[in-house]
Amino acid sequence: MTTNENTHGHGPRMDFAAALPSATYKAVVALDAAARKGVDPVIAELVKIRASQLNHCAFCLDMHIKDARKAGETEERIYLLNAWEEAAHYYTEKEQAALALTEAVTVLTDGFVPDAVYERAAAQFDDTELTQLIALIATINVWNRFSVTTRKAPGAV
């Protein structure tokens, strides 16, 4: 499979970054940069990988797994992330709270984030950190949706 094909045998639909008005693209980049400030880089990458797993975004998975490795993340924790609840002892309480919040915000199956999930995260992060984490989760979901919709190929950066 070439880098221009996805698992369905189709190439990218468009070059989203090139087609997107620069002000819109820059706004998402700026939100992403602002959201990362003050968030532990390892937690940030775990969150981005987990949201990308849930959203089936191969491009973002490829990018953020590589970024996680650069941030010092281990292969074992990356491999187990899809089953983090069963492998909870590999992740700190703070990481687990961030991952649970990531899943709730990303999926929104009941149309809201459950109180227990929010309270778990609020117990691990101060208000500023929690706000940053929520913005980070929202931002990776934006990137996932851009990339999945336009079929951005992994390794295309």
- What average pLDDT does range 9-16 have in this prediction? 66
Domains and CATH numbers, the chain: 39-150 (1.20.1290.10)
Is residue 1 over pLDDT 60?
A: no
What pTM does this model have? Answer: 0.86
Q: How confident is the model at residue 149 (pLDDT cuts 50, 70, 90)?
A: confident
pLDDT digits 0-9 by tens, 74-104: 999 999 999 999 999 999 999 999 999 999 9
DSSP state of 153: P
Residue 138 is encoded by which pair of tokens?
């929202």
pLDDT in the model for residue 157:
58
Give the whole-angstrom CA distance, residue 72 versus residue 76. Answer: 12
Question: What pLDDT sits at residue 2?
Answer: 36
How many whole angstroms separate alpha carbon 102 and alpha carbon 96? 10
